[in-house]
Structure formats: structure tokens, C-alpha cells
Amino acid sequence: MKRRALRDEPLIFERNPGRARRQGFVLPPLDVPAVDPASVIPAELLRHDEPGCPDVGEMEVVQHFHRLSQLNYAVDEGLYPLGSCTMKYNPRLNEQTARFPGLASIHPLQPPEQVQGALRLIWELERALLAITGMAGVTLQPAAGAHGELAGILMIRRALAARGDARSVVLVPDSAHGTNPATAAFAGYEAVEVPSAEDGTVDLEALDRLMTDRVAAVMLTVPNTLGVFEHQILEISRLVHDRGGLVYMDGANLNAFVGRALPGRMGADAMHINLHKTFSTPHGGGGPGAGPVVVSETLVPHLPVPRVVRDGESFRVVHDDPASIGPMRGFFGNFLILVRALTYIRSLGADGLREMSSTAVLYANLIRHRLAGAYHLPYRSPSLHEVVLDDSRQAARDIHNVDIAKRLLDHGFHPPTMSFPLIVHGALMIEPAESVPPEEIDAFCDAMLAIAAEAEASPEVVRGAPHDTPVSRVDEVRAARQLKVRWTPEGSS
């Protein structure tokens, strides 16, 4: 019998079209008297028809979801070149340490004397992050990068209020992550855009004009979302500080310079760190996550509580501090994610972390070198961890970045980030990270070059992609506007 192809895998509701009675479980007999549901449940809440649950056995369920799992692309499968996402391998050693009973089985309400090992681990991770960034203080509480941004901006707000200098504006470059202006607005500030200069970095003259006594902070991504280092960062920090503002640094791209440069020396007052990006903890799926925030001396008094403090060889927890912004979430954050991050940092050590960032930058520039002749490079500034190309050469034949991305699926690669940053029309934002071997980078470049050649010779093939995936091209606009989220025996609704 011919085995069903993966691309023909039906919905779980469609696996037993004849509705034959199958099930993967048997309930034990009732050990209490039976009760008429109508006697205890209001009539309007009673169901009169059987629910449209699938009638399938356990093996059918296992096979169905196993087949679906084989359709998922993952970091363990190959290169995941999403720009500004730093999709790297999660070492299995991290998972092993996170499963140690002394870490995985403790409770956050246990008294400090019973969890000294966990408190020491938190304290050591804090010391590691301070060494890596050159900052003065840190909180591990935030659950993700955007949450860390909010913590940083709230600390800035508290510091300005403490000196009697409440302000109302946060400046955000036009190349920033969308979370930056959202964070500023959520914290009660007006977000004002700062334009980029021709080289893709912040326009210093525009910043000079906008930097008034109403500005609380400037939010910078370093390197920025074009993969370009803000080479005037010292001048920017000096300008902002001289006029009473503070500098927030978005640490999403820290992977580009770990072991080579210190944000604390650049003038940063606060910076979040995406542990799931730079330090290899699991990424995506809505969590878990962690976005620690490192701060300068100015903001140390306002760090969230609780805090772990070392007293000789033991550790205690500080829960109250009138200068603090208070807790950002329960307890100390996603603790087992912190375990994974410290495992990674200790595994690599200082030399390994430096090699990690060096390899990430090398790979990005290899991609830039190989693809610059086939795709347009909108900014000529040197690239660090990622490179941004665009589709302007292919657009002449009505081939756009979405077509290139779909065709990449036929080559077995996950597409890069598309249409971001917003200042690059038709952007293809590629960040390879450092996890894969160089042969994988070459294979990705070969695929991109083949698609560029195909766009010239057979553009209809690219426009019709993907051809070899379980689901072909979908109408994404219609899918977003006409959601079908429920299944009934009569069909979707």
C-alpha cells in the first residue's frame, strides 16, 4: 500500500470521515451515583448534540502529530537566518543542567537558606552579564526583550523624577525595532522619530535639533537593525547626557560584539539582553524567555525588587527598597532560562564568547560578499552580525522579496526576515549567527544566487513558489482578514 505523503496530511478532524467509533482511552466505571446533568446545570448551558471531537485512536493521534512535527523548520534542522533574531543552536548541555533536580524541583517560596545554590546561580549570572557589558547593576526579572525595555525606561523615568526633572519625550531612530516606540508610549512618553543619515546610522545633526530639555532618553539599537555599528555612539551619548537625558541601548544585537566592546564604555544607561538570542536559551513559541536589564550607576538605586545580595559566602533576598521601581514580575524571572544562559556562558568562557561574536560577524560578511552582486545593497557601511539586502534588482521583473522568500523554501531554507527595517523597501534582512558550519552558509548563498538567476531567466517560477512544500502560496491578506479558527462537522467557520 502506498504510504500517505506528508503534503496530504489531513486535519485531525478529517482522519475518520465515516465517524466510526474509535478512541484512545477508556474511562473507569463511575464510583459515585449517576446524576442527571439537567438537575445541576442550567438548561442554557447544556449541550444537546455531541461535540465535534475527532474519533481517533491513540496511534492515529501520535502518527498525525509526528507527521506534522516533520513539517516544522527548526534551528536543529539547519540555518535559520532571521535578521535581528539571532536564531542559534540551543546546546543540549543547557537542557541537562536545567533539569537538575536541585534547580528544576525547587519552589520560589522556599526560604533563602534552602535555596542557596539557586541564589548563588542568580548572583553569578548577574556578575557574568555585568562583566560582558561593563555596566554597574542588573536585574534578571524581565520575561523578554520588550519587557526589559519597559523596565529600563521605567527606571529612567524614576531617576529623572527623583532629581525633579520629569520629561515627556523619548527619541527613537527610524530604523528601530517596533517595540521601542511602543515601550516609550506604554511608559507614558511621546515617541519622536530620529532620521537616519546616508550611512544608515543616526543623523547626529537631526539628533542635535531634537534633543531638547523635554527629552528623557534616546533609545538606540547597537549595532542597529541594518547591521551597522553606530560609529558615533560616544558623540551621541555625550550629547544626550550633556542635555540631561539618558541613553537606552536595545541589546537585541549584542551577539555582534560580545567579548569585543562594552556598552558601559559607550555611555549606555540601560540595556536589555535577550538571553534567547545572545546566550542560546530556547527561542520562540511565545516563551519561555528572559530579558535581563543592565544599568549604569545612575539607575542602580531604581532596579526592581527582589534582589539577591551576597553576605560573605551566603546570599539573602532584599524585597523592599523605596527607590526601586518595584517588581516587574513574580520572583526572579524565568529561572530555568537563567540556568541555561549561565551554562552557556560558563561553557564558552571569555575566549569562546569572543570567538562566537567573531564567527557571527564573519558569516554575515561572507553572505554579504557573495550576494552583493546579485542583490542590491542599500547601505554600503560595513556589516557586523547581519546584512540587509533588498529586492530592487528583481523588482524590475516583478519579483519581490516575498517571492524570493517563498522560493527559498523549495531549496530547504527558512527565509530571512522580510520588509524590515522599514526604511529599506523590499528588505531581506539576513543574520546567520554562528551555529552552523561554513558549508551551510555556502549552500544558503548558492540557493540565493540560483534564485537571482532564476528571476532573470524564468521569473514565473519564482513568482509561483513554493512548489515543493506541503502548502503552496496562500493569500496572506485574505487569511489575515477572514480568519477561520473553528472546525465543525459542516466545515470551518
What CATH number is attached to the domain comprising 336? 3.40.640.10
Q: Which single residue is written with the C-alpha cell 467509533?
A: 21
Is the confidence at residue 1, as pLDDT, over 50? no
Q: Are residue 111 and residue 56 in the same domain, yes or no?
A: no
Task: Please tell me the predicted confidence (pLDDT) of residue 492.
Answer: 44
Mean residue pLDDT of the chain comes to: 92
Does 261 map to a domain? yes
Classify each residue of 279-310 as buried b or exposed e, where b means 16 or more C-beta atoms within 10 Å of its C-beta.
Answer: bbbbbeeeebbbbbbbbbebbebbbbbbbbee
pLDDT digits (tens, 9 = 90+) for 11-41: 888 877 666 677 777 888 999 999 999 999 9
Q: Which one of 324, 347, 370 terminates a domain? A: 347
Residue 384 within any structural domain of the chain:
yes
Q: How are the residues of the chain apportioned to helix, strand and coil, as percentages rounded to the nearest 5? A: 40, 10, 50
* pLDDT score for 24: 75
Q: Domain for residue 492, yes or no?
A: no
Helix (H) or strand (E) holding 426: none
The residue whose grid cell reads 517560477 is: 461
Helix 335-371 with 116-133: angle, nearest 10 deg: 30
Q: What pLDDT does 273 receive?
A: 96
> DSSP 3-state assignment of 193?
strand
Contact assessment for residue 213 and residue 167, using Cβ atoms and an 8 Å cutoff:
yes
Residues 337 and 451 placed together within one structural domain of the fold: no
Residues 189 and 219 in one domain: yes
- What's the pLDDT score for residue 173? 96
| 371 and 278 together in one domain | no
pLDDT tens-place string over residues 100-136: 999 999 998 999 999 999 999 999 999 999 999 999 9
Is residue 409 in a domain?
yes
**Separation between Cα atoms, residue 411 and residue 443, nearest integer Å:** 9
Based on the fold, state whether residues 362 and 415 are members of the same structural domain.
yes
Per-residue pLDDT tens digits for 231-274? 999 999 999 999 999 999 999 999 999 999 999 999 999 999 99
pLDDT band, residue 210 (cuts 50/70/90) = very high
pLDDT at 222 over 90: yes
**Helix axis angle, 401-410 relative to 438-457, nearest 10°?**
120
Please give the tally of structural domains in the chain: 3
Residue 466 has pLDDT above 70, yes or no: yes
Is the pLDDT reported for residue 59 higher than 50? yes
Residues 213 and 332 in one domain: yes
Residue 84 placed within a domain: no
Which spans in 229-334 are helix H?
Answer: 233-242, 263-266, 275-278
**Alpha carbon 318 to chain centroid, angstroms:** 30
Per-residue pLDDT of 352-394, as tens digits, reads 999 999 999 999 999 999 999 999 999 989 999 999 999 999 9
**Residue 181's domain spans which residues?**
92-347
Q: Does any domain span residue 471?
A: yes
Q: Give me the residue label for grid cell 540601560.
A: 270
Whether residues 317 and 428 fall in one domain:
no
In this structure, are 100 and 192 located in the same domain? yes
The C-alpha cell that represents 232 in the structure block: 558615533
Pair 156, 278 in one domain? yes
Distance CA 428, CA 420 (A): 7
pLDDT over 50 at 493, yes or no: no
Residue 54 has pLDDT above 90, yes or no: no
Residue 79 lies in a domain: no
* Residue predicted with more confidence, 21 or 405: 405
Domain boundary among 347, 379, 404: 347
Last residue of one domain, picked from the residues 314, 347, 380: 347
Q: What is the CATH number of the domain that holds 426?
A: 3.90.1150.10
pTM: 0.88
My answer on whether 187 and 255 are in the same domain is yes
The answer to whether residues 335 and 355 belong to one domain is: no
* Domain assignment present for 469: yes
> Helix, strand, or coil here: 293?
strand
Q: Model confidence over 143-197: pLDDT tens digits?
A: 999 999 999 999 999 999 999 999 999 999 999 998 999 999 999 999 999 999 9
The pLDDT, as a whole number, for residue 246 is 98
Give the pLDDT of residue 3: 41
Residues 358, 293 share a domain: no
